[in-house]
Structure 1
Amino acid sequence: MRRLQSVDEFHDLAEEKPVVFMFTAGWCPDCRVIDPIMPEVENSFQEYEFISVDRDEFIDLCIEKDVYGIPSFLAFNNGQEAGRFVSKDRKTQEEIESFLANLPK
């Protein structure tokens, strides 16, 4: 999963293609728990581009998008927010895959 480089890139990607942003941080133990499963999740949902967003680097973006817990996921399709899985709770592979499977197409 590649990392977000700028706020402008966030807005461009959200407008251009189906994308899922994973908000994370290096110090977040719950984020580290899901890191090993994310390649499999990405492989199962190839219709989306997955982008890692460092919460500490993009705190203003987190505030703008009401993302206060990590790990969290925001999905965009056709320039619109398609869904969010935002909380401070640890997430399982099954929960992440269920969130992605239930996004509107």
Structure 2
Amino acid sequence: MKQLQTNTFPEFITAGRKVVEFSADWCIDCVRIAPDLPEIESTFSSTFEFAMIDVDESQEVAQQFQVKGIPTFIVFENGKEVGRLPSRNAKTREQVVSFLQELE
């Protein structure tokens, strides 16, 4: 999965349909879902482009989008937020897949 930084984030979300996972190395739920992400990315590769941003390294972006817990998945379409899966609902592969299917 592509890794974003504060300076690469705006350009990434500008065009197309993008899924950004807000995450951190110390987050237990992020570590648990990580092995499922390549399969999820592959399943939805014709619909979305995926990336991850570390909330510790890019605090400004996390604050701008009011990310309160992690992992949080935000879907952007041409720079605008069109969907959000907050951390309380982003703990399993099934939850993430169901969320993305609703936005396909």
TM-score for the superposition, normalised by structure 2: 0.90
1:16 lines up with 2:18 in the alignment: no
- Secondary structure (helix, strand or coil) at the match of 1:67 reads coil
CA distance in 1, matches of 2:23, 2:102: 22
Alignment identity in percent?
40
* Bigger mean CA offset, 82-91 vs 43-52: 82-91
What does residue 69 of structure 2 align with?
A: 69
- Secondary structure (helix, strand or coil) at the match of 1:102 reads helix
Q: How many residues align?
A: 103
Contact 1:20 / 1:74 at 8 angstroms: preserved in 2?
A: yes
TM-score for the superposition, normalised by structure 1: 0.90
Segments of 4+ in structure 1 off by > 4 A? Answer: none
Q: Provide the alpha-carbon RMSD of the alignment.
A: 1.4
What does residue 57 of structure 1 align with?
A: 57
Per the TM alignment, residue 68 of structure 1 is displaced from its structure 2 partner at its CA by 1.2
CA distance in 2, matches of 1:34, 1:23: 12
Per the TM alignment, residue 99 of structure 1 is displaced from its structure 2 partner at its CA by 0.7
Per the TM alignment, residue 8 of structure 1 is displaced from its structure 2 partner at its CA by 3.6
